[in-house]
Structure 1
Amino acid sequence: MRQEIVYSVVVPLYNEEMVIDESYKRLKKIMDTTSESYEIIFVNDGSLDKTREKAEKICSQDVNVKLVNFSRNFGHQPAITAGMRTSSGKAVIVIDADLQDPPEVMLKMIEKWKQGYDVVYGKRIKREGESFIKKFTAGAFYRILKSMTSIDIPVDTGDFRLIDRKVCDVLNSLPERNRYVRGLVSWIGYRQTYVEFVRQERFAGDTKYPLKKMFKLAFDGITSFSYKPLVISGYLGGVSFLAGMIMLVKDLVDFAAKGLKLVNFQFLLSVDLIMFGIVLSCMGMIGQYIGRIFDECRGRPNYIIENIVNKRGD
């Protein structure tokens, strides 16, 4: 009879051929020190380099490693979701392959889990090897998101965390398509705590979160857990209308009292540009919510699994 798995380590992969061998080596070293059963689940998110070949080679040599191959690139959050749904451990740990989140921190998370916590997330106290722009935009996003939502989403945290099996099962049962996993974990609740760590410089390769993907993640986070942007859009519309009325009354008074020109082309053009900018921004924000509704109504899956490679054959 197969031994019950205690820990499932979920590792999303996208073009990580330069990192995967070192990542596996350090993950295995750390998990072996627990003296408990574990599995490492690599989720290949449609990599275009040799990531798949290297991951399959690791699977052929280590019975504790499983590889989930997507049919194409679906994104980081779907990869995490697939790993969770494939996992069978009593505790599930999510960590990226780039080694910016040190695998050694997982032992501290396990200690907290054994103390009775259901969610243990990694909190970054310092970010090494990242530009000022990256640090500033990340910090600003976390704080804006926290101020806009009614749930407590911790700042300076990513997807690096340990969750108990019951939390994982609840996450897996949620049907929404545009998933912001770290926000969903906070929304679910249960007993949560954190461990602090220094985020390391990337071991090799390039970041898999360029500006475009960062904005996508930001919109997913905000629109998943807050309606405040729609409220703000309404306020902006009201303020714009009030400002327009005040300027119209002022122009009429100046025209009647001082005989000034009622129509000033440059002034009207400036006002129109401001008003149209506000209107289009509000429409764009509303469009984000409508787009999410459309995605949910189509009912397409978050991802498609091409195959699962596992030496166990299960």
Structure 2
Amino acid sequence: MSENSAASGLGPRPLISVVVPCFNEEEVLPATYERLTAVMSRLAGCDHELVLVDDGSTDRTWEVLRELAADDPRVHLVRFSRNFGHQCGLLAGLREAAGDAVVMIDADLQDPPEVIPELVERWRQGWPVVSARRTRRQGESWSKRGSAYVFYRVLDVLADQPVARDTGDFRLLDRCVVDLVATLPERRLFLRGQISWAGFPETTVECVRRPRPAGRSKYGIRRQLGLAHQALMSCSDFPARLPVLAAAVVLGVAVAGPVTGRRAPRGAWALGVQLLCLGVLADYVFQEYDQTRGRPAYLVRQSVPGRSAARAARTGAPARSTSSRVAAGPMNPDDQAAAS
């Protein structure tokens, strides 16, 4: 257990929260629940809870989740008003989790839950961040494997702070890390980058990414490109420097032109640089506008609180029967200050 957790005077049975974002996963959820509970129940000396976030599903995902919560007091549910995206689902789970450590894992079972005991063991050894590094990616096309390989290495070169290679969101965070990440005000999220930015000591364990046992991937090329774009914007100042680099290239070509006897078409280079600069600036302006207009990252339509004694002991709320609430997502710090 980390020094931060030990200093807080935790008892002999820490609570491990498992956060699982779900979007149209009705086919795989029963298997996900069974494997997670089997793994977590075998963890010696630990209590656990499952924080399942329905990210605006349009199938029977919410009904399946309600059935699980009705039978298991360790299940805590959150339902978004619409689909806000995978990263928002993880953030909501982190904010709802009551555990002394929190594991983030997708519902599709491609990241094996059986690796969680290794994550917990490293946490007990004192590591506040433990990531699962994918050594192989089974059942994925060569284009998916190749793009993932290139993405992590390009990000590693351009990122202001190192981001662990070949790691997704499957990782364990100590309570002190969760408390920090959950309060960051950014709306456009790339949690891996924000965790790396925080600078806590991090280690990895190896795992093999498996094929989906049921259902189909919801992360198409558009979502992948969107995540890669947000990763670059969140973790690197390279896009802001790009106009300067482009201008330097154009200036170099202009100076070298008379020497080499080659000239670009009149105005082509200048127009290209102008468009590039405008595009980069527009991207930054929109992200700043999106942040300052103050909308929450997500809206909660309904939640079903977990009823376990371990959760009640940490939240101060009594263990209670299943209930629901409808509420907006958390306000950003500026809104909270205004409300107070």
| TM-score, length-scaled by structure 2 | 0.82
Q: Distance in 1 between matches of 2:99 and 2:259?
A: 70
- Does residue 109 (structure 1) correspond to residue 119 (structure 2)? The answer is yes
Q: Distance in 1 between matches of 2:216 and 2:18?
A: 23
Q: Which residue of 2 aligns with 1:232?
A: 242
**Equivalent residue runs for 1:201-280 within 5 Å:** 201-247=211-257, 249=258, 268=265, 272=268, 276-280=271-275
Q: Which residue of 2 aligns with 1:295?
A: 290
**Equivalent residue runs for 1:7-46 within 5 Å:** 7-35=16-44, 36-46=46-56
Q: State the one-letter code of the partner of 1:128.
A: Q
Q: State the one-letter code of the partner of 1:268.
A: P
Q: Which residue of 1 aligns with 2:312?
A: none
Q: State the one-letter code of the partner of 1:30.
A: V
Q: Distance in 2 between matches of 1:158 and 1:151?
A: 16
Alignment equivalent of 2:167, drawn from 157, 163, 166:
157
Q: Which residue of 2 aligns with 1:185?
A: 195
Q: Distance in 1 between matches of 2:83 and 2:280?
A: 26
Q: Distance in 2 between matches of 1:8 and 1:118?
A: 14
Contact 1:6 1:37 in 2 (8 A): yes
How far off its partner does 1:230 sit?
2.1
Q: State the one-letter code of the partner of 1:106.
A: I
Where 2:113 maps in the other structure, the secondary structure is: coil
1:167-187 superposed Cα distances (whole Å, 9 cap, x missing partner): 100111211111110111111
1:256-306 superposed Cα distances (whole Å, 9 cap, x missing partner): xxxxxxxx9xx738x72x654444334322222222111111111000001
Task: State the aligned residue count.
Answer: 297
- Does residue 121 (structure 1) correspond to residue 131 (structure 2)? The answer is yes
1:59-105 superposed Cα distances (whole Å, 9 cap, x missing partner): 11111111100000000111000000000000000000000000000
Q: State the one-letter code of the partner of 1:175.
A: P
Q: State the one-letter code of the partner of 1:294.
A: Y
- Does residue 78 (structure 1) correspond to residue 88 (structure 2)? The answer is yes
Structure 1, unaligned stretches of length 5 or more? Answer: 255-263
Structure 2, unaligned stretches of length 5 or more? Answer: 1-11, 308-319, 322-340
Q: State the one-letter code of the partner of 1:39.
A: E
Percentage of matched positions with identical amino acids: 39
CA separation of 1:301/1:5 partners in 2, compared to 1, >3 Å: closer, same or farther?
farther
Q: Which residue of 2 aligns with 1:286?
A: 281
Give RMSD over aligned pairs: 2.2
Question: Which ranges of 4 or more aligned residues in structure 1 deviate by more than 6 Å?
Answer: none
Q: Which residue of 2 aligns with 1:259?
A: none
Where 2:296 maps in the other structure, the secondary structure is: coil
| TM-score, length-scaled by structure 1 | 0.89
